[in-house]
Amino acid sequence: MTGDQHTTIYNQFLSDWKNAEPPVRPMKSELVEIGKILAAQKGRAMVLGSTPEYRDLALGLGYETTALDINPNMLSGMEELMTQSAGSHNKKVVGDWNAMPFPDASFEYILAEQSLNIVPMVERGSILSECARVLTPGGIFFCKVMVIRSDFRQTVTACTEKFLKAESTLNDYTMCLMHATDSDGYDETTGMLRFQDRAFIEQYVADGALSPAVQRDHRRVYAAHYTDHHLYLLSEETTEQQLEARFTVDRIIRGIEFEMSKVMPIFVCKKR
């Protein structure tokens, strides 16, 4: 993705993102587990993107924290959501994840909130190599990445019926639609997942099966789905193999707030 493309897409939903909720943004249970590891030592942390929760977490624990994003509007816009006061430890750097503007071994920790999901699969290897390069020996890369799971792949009708019977939340319903076997939204060759769930929800609202309130809630939580935006996903096993090529996967953290946390693991990767 070029810098211009990234800027255009993200400027479209920056204001909506500020109203978004987990799981689009980090879950409390995830932050607790990451915080336990960060609290073990002090040093330098880099956030792959502009995620305010990760920046707050590291700054609150006394880390010199650098957010790296190709879009300066995201860096400044997301700062409005931070609770930690800005200061010399809060750094913002405009740059490309494929060619990070830092020397080798610059950070003890890197935190990424679904960052790998927004870049084409052909770029994933170079970004992981750059993460390994700028980490200190033994440094840790917290890599949260959405994955495709076969046990989430139901039909659109089955997903909707489950939601209408109050057997699933809006969050889990949306994830089910994204993974739906008959949605034609996932390309196994490229790993690209298109946001078909927006179209399905709009059609069900038009048909009277879902209320307009459901659509409003969906837009609030999943603002990105209402822009020209898509994700790149692999299975959990294949994703772990990609990470193991450059790191040692020490453990996996999963949020506990939603059933869909199953498809959003945080790989705790240690630099060898």
pLDDT tens-digit map of 177-205: 888 888 877 888 888 888 788 889 999 99
Q: Identify the sign of the CA torsion 162, 164, 170, 176.
A: positive
- In whole angstroms, give the CA distance from residue 169 to residue 189: 30
Task: Give me the chain's average pLDDT, please.
Answer: 88
Q: What is the reported pLDDT for 101?
A: 98
Mean pLDDT for the stretch of residues 4-19 = 62
Q: Identify the sign of the CA torsion 15, 18, 20, 24.
A: positive
Q: What is the reported pLDDT for 231?
A: 84
- In whole angstroms, give the CA distance from residue 105 to residue 63: 16
pTM for this predicted structure: 0.87
Which residue in the block uniquely carries the two structure tokens 């750094």?
91
For residue 40, give the nearest of 250, 263, 214, 231 by alpha carbon. 250
Residue 3 banded pLDDT, cuts 50, 70, 90:
low
For 92, the 3-state DSSP assignment is strand
CB neighbours (10 Å) of residue 137?
A: 9
Confirm if 200 and 156 have CB atoms less than 8 A apart.
yes
- Tens digits of residue pLDDT in 200-235: 999 999 999 999 999 988 887 777 677 666 789 999
- Tens digits of residue pLDDT in 151-181: 778 899 999 999 999 988 888 888 888 888 8
